[in-house]
Amino acid sequence: MLSARSTSTQAGDVARADVAVVGAGPIGLAVAWRCAARGLRVTVHDPAPGSGASAVAAGMLAPVSEAYFGERELTGLLVESAARWPAFAAELTEASGVELGYRTEGTLLVGLTADDLAEARRLWAYQQEIGLPVTPLRPSELRDREPALAPRVRGGAFAATDHQVDPRLLLPALRIAAERAGAVLVPGPVRTLADLDAAVTVVAAGCGAAALTGLPVRPVKGQVLRLRAPGGATPGFRHVIRGYADGESVYLVPRSGGEVVVGATVEERRDTDVSAGAVLRLLRAAVDVLPELAEYDLVETAAGLRPGTPDNAPILGPLPGRPGVLAATGHHRHGIVLTPVTADLIADLVTTGRPDPLLAPFRPDRFTGPAAPDSAGSDPTAPATGAAAADAVPAAGGAGVSAAGDDDVAARTSEEDPWN
């Protein structure tokens, strides 16, 4: 087991860390907080903390409405993490003194036209089939919950367990909690993992994980809008609203301070430019679903890059052929909702060396390909897959974590991909 040690408070005086975390987004900061709270010496390396995809994200905690065909194992992880969110939010608020904007009104799922509703019902039927709590609602029942919905809305459903949090409050809360627990932020870039002096390195660098590890993490662009109710009033609706408007997928997330987040595009692009066409499509769909939004102020347009993977699921666990290097990346549209479970699973792995069974479907060695070029003392051209690439994570009493191989996973990209 990695033992507790005293922790320096000055970056220049940091001795060899027990854990070096690369990336100060919600995943990296949560891992750092959990590890530091267990008495480990933790450093967090990031030149611009909190500047990645989470700064743009809407913060939906949506294990039900984000459950898609062919992603049952991922859905199970989403459900597990969402169930941890109430306790996680309470603990984090106590540790940081920061309210997170955590809200539990639930999510309304809507279809504007008959075609939209038919498409939505197909997905809801699948979600009900796998045991998720989706309650169909007639148009009148929808408007009983949200009178501001457009009269054109043909029908919908209610996902009571799909909640929300404000990522722009979550990030500073995690940073405060991690630093109060003893983690040290090192505000500089990491160009190679070999430069880090730590017993265990956790790569939580989002899209940057590809260059550091060779893992198949790619940027998936998402454009998002932020509106504000006139005069700073509270938005005229309480629930998160997700659905389809003339074939366009859209979500509307109300904040108590008067803000409404509207999103999001899904683009296989690497730029973060905001296009007029995306703004037009999102606003049209939003106003079609909730007409009063036409009177709101448009206060921000932004784009971010989600860390996508070939199977849309995160990459969690030890890298093949890379002793002491753990991945916590590739969360795609699920980074916020998966923050609690990722932090717990990685911190447990660091301190015990034993992988939780929940990690099995998400191990890095489920992908085939060459070893990462950053592997110190290894051949960068050698394959790093399968049982031959198994390696161990330093842990209690010399215990290790096996990194045995899985079958290849077919690549697929969700077309119904509102950004979380």
Which domains does the chain carry? 1-101+164-217+309-420 (3.50.50.60), 107-160+219-306 (3.30.9.10)
Under-70 pLDDT residues of the chain: 1-15, 368-420
Residue 73 near residue 311, CB atoms below 8 Å: no
Residues 123, 129, 131, 135, CA torsion sign: positive
Strand order in the sheet with 17-22: 184-186, 42-45, 17-22, 198-203, 325-329, 315-318
Beta strand spans in 256-375 (E): 259-263, 297-308, 315-318, 325-329
Cα distance between residue 216 and residue 108, in whole Å: 34
- What b/e sequence results for 177-204 when a residue is b if at least 16 CB atoms lie within 10 Å of its CB, and e otherwise? bbbebbbbbbeeebeebeebebbbbbbb
Q: Are strands 42-45 and 184-186 parallel, antiparallel or unpaired?
A: parallel
Number of Cα atoms under 13 Å in the Cβ half of residue 181: 29
Phi-psi region of 397 (alpha: psi -120 to 50; beta: other; left: phi over 0): left
Number of Cα atoms under 13 Å in the Cβ half of residue 133: 9
Q: Is 173 exposed, middle or buried (0-12, 13-18, 19+ CB in 10 A)?
A: buried
Cα distance between residue 329 and residue 365, in whole Å: 14
Residues 280, 282, 287, 292, CA torsion sign: negative
Q: Are strands 325-329 and 135-137 parallel, antiparallel or unpaired?
A: unpaired
**pLDDT score recorded for residue 381:** 26
Residue 305 near residue 220, CB atoms below 8 Å: yes
**pLDDT score recorded for residue 3:** 47
Query: Could you tell me where the DSSP H helices lie in 275-410?
Result: 276-289, 339-352
Cα distance between residue 235 and residue 376, in whole Å: 53
Q: Which candidate, 90, 86, 106, places its Cα nearest to that of 98?
A: 90
**pLDDT score recorded for residue 1:** 52
**pLDDT score recorded for residue 16:** 87
- Please give the helix or strand (H or E) that residue 61 lies within, else none: strand 60-61
Structure tokens at 417: 């991909």
Number of Cα atoms under 13 Å in the Cβ half of residue 18: 26
Residue 19 near residue 200, CB atoms below 8 Å: yes
Beta strand spans in 134-247 (E): 135-137, 155-159, 163-164, 184-186, 198-203, 218-228, 240-245
